[in-house]
Structure 1
């Protein structure tokens, strides 16, 4: 499972200020670069822990099967829409009686389509993420992202080296892994 950074909410000024405080910077000349590095750090965090940090809408397209199918992102907060997708890409909202849905205690979302004629693909729209906003992200995840953004900033000129292991130590308790 890989999270894509394109729908990540904008980095708030307060979070950029945390990175600047960590780096002991008192100017605003590099704020855009810091925001970009912070976005990269958050993206890496999400991929490391296997969960989305900030709740946001997600849409999965999947083939129709007569069994429960797991949604790709977590933790799922709510499943909001299930649509039948025609071969030409047109989507039609399915009535609630056409499918079942479930969200496990670990935040995994599931959808099962009841027998429906002429439906071969579905699109499921749902909300997934640990926190409603940056202020409510767990402190260890937030601090790890700030430290990683600081590391990326100080090594932006191509210096080699591994990020501090303290970052993964902060994130590891939140990590959700899939066993194959």
Structure 2
């Protein structure tokens, strides 16, 4: 399975000024922008860490997901959530030839934690031996930073500030996700049920 973020967030979509205010960095100096690249790096790292912990994409962007077989030919659970649209499915054969699947053959079943790609006619298209399937889709909780739920936005700033504060620390004690961040994102995490346990 290969999941690719085909439209990474540009720097302009990151809350740089809000992060500077959160860090209480001084303003009005000629050197104000010297750390911008570093600060954006910490913001990206915090976004990625929270997305990974929650299994949710925070700010909407486009992805492709490629695999060599369906795990469930009737309804395939997509790798991230929430998925807002499936834009294309492409079947590739062993020789590299590609065919776009008719959108009438599938539908998106929206779900906060486990969105599914479902067949409209019993089964999803068969993946050729030696071939693959590529699903293109958009996913995200909000179209931009300003539309994010306040608790998630605060968690990103807090975690980015934590990374900034401990940027010279190579030990584990400073690199773990702070409790305040984990408590803010807890309600967004998917509950995984297994036999005799809740994870």
TM-score, normalised to structure 2, is 0.77
Q: Which has the higher contact order (CA 8 A, sep 6+)?
A: 1
String of CA shifts for 1:66-125, please: whole Å, max 9, x gaps.
Answer: 42211111101011111111113332112234x322323426132337475774532211
Compared with structure 1, are the counterparts of its residues 132 and 25 closer, same or farther at alpha carbon in structure 2 (3 Å cutoff)?
Answer: same
Unaligned runs of 5+ in 2: 27-31, 195-199
Question: Structure 2 residue aligned with 1:149, among 149, 160, 171?
Answer: 160
Encode CA deviations 1:14-35: one digit per residue, 9 max, x unaligned: 7111111111112332111010
Deviations 1:115-145 (A, max 9, x none): 7577453221111111111111111111111
Whole-Å Cα distance in 2 between the matches of residues 138 and 119 of structure 1?
A: 42
CA distance in 2 between partners of 1:118 and 1:23 (Å): 50
1:73 aligns with 2:84: no
Q: Deviations over 1:144-164 (max 9, x none)?
A: 111111111111112642443
Match among 44, 49, 53 for residue 48 of structure 1 = 53
TM-score (norm 1): 0.84
CA distance in 1, matches of 2:164, 2:43: 9
| CA-atom RMSD in angstroms | 2.8
Aligned length: 179
Partner Cα distance (1:147, 1:40) in 2: 12
* Cα pair distance change 1:96/1:163, threshold 3 Å: closer
SS at match of 1:110: strand
In structure 2, the partner of 1:12 is 12
Unaligned runs of 5+ in 1: none
